[in-house]
Amino acid sequence: MNYETARQFLIDQGTALETKINPDAFLMRLEQGKPPIPGQATNILLALKISFEMLQGDPLLDRELVAGLYLLAMESLKLFEAGRRKGVMWPPLLKEDIERISIAVKNIFSGVWPTDK
């Protein structure tokens, strides 16, 4: 996955609730109480890492990407919690995946990607 593909993928995933283009987008599936497609969270995390590496040191981020990232991080957690309150049985690691997505978005905004020790 190159940066342009990763960027567009993240924008599409983050704005899915607004555009309603892709019924299988991460946020659309969460809104419907469905688990992500296998590998979907991994692809999002990969796209976030690629974006971080490409944007590292860039003092400006484009608004379209920022909006997509923000929505992806915020809405995924909200939809997860709303589903949980409604009794949706989410996959066991989904909450951790959503937390990783939120952390990766924060890292892109801050320009710092923590290293594992």
The CA-atom distances, in angstroms, between 56 and each of 12, 45, 109 are 22, 16, 10
pLDDT digits (tens, 9 = 90+) for 38-72: 999 999 999 999 999 999 888 889 999 999 999 99
Mean pLDDT of 105-109: 93
pLDDT band at 113 (very low <50, low <70, confident <90, very high): confident
Does the pTM exceed 0.85? yes
For range 16-36, the mean pLDDT: 95
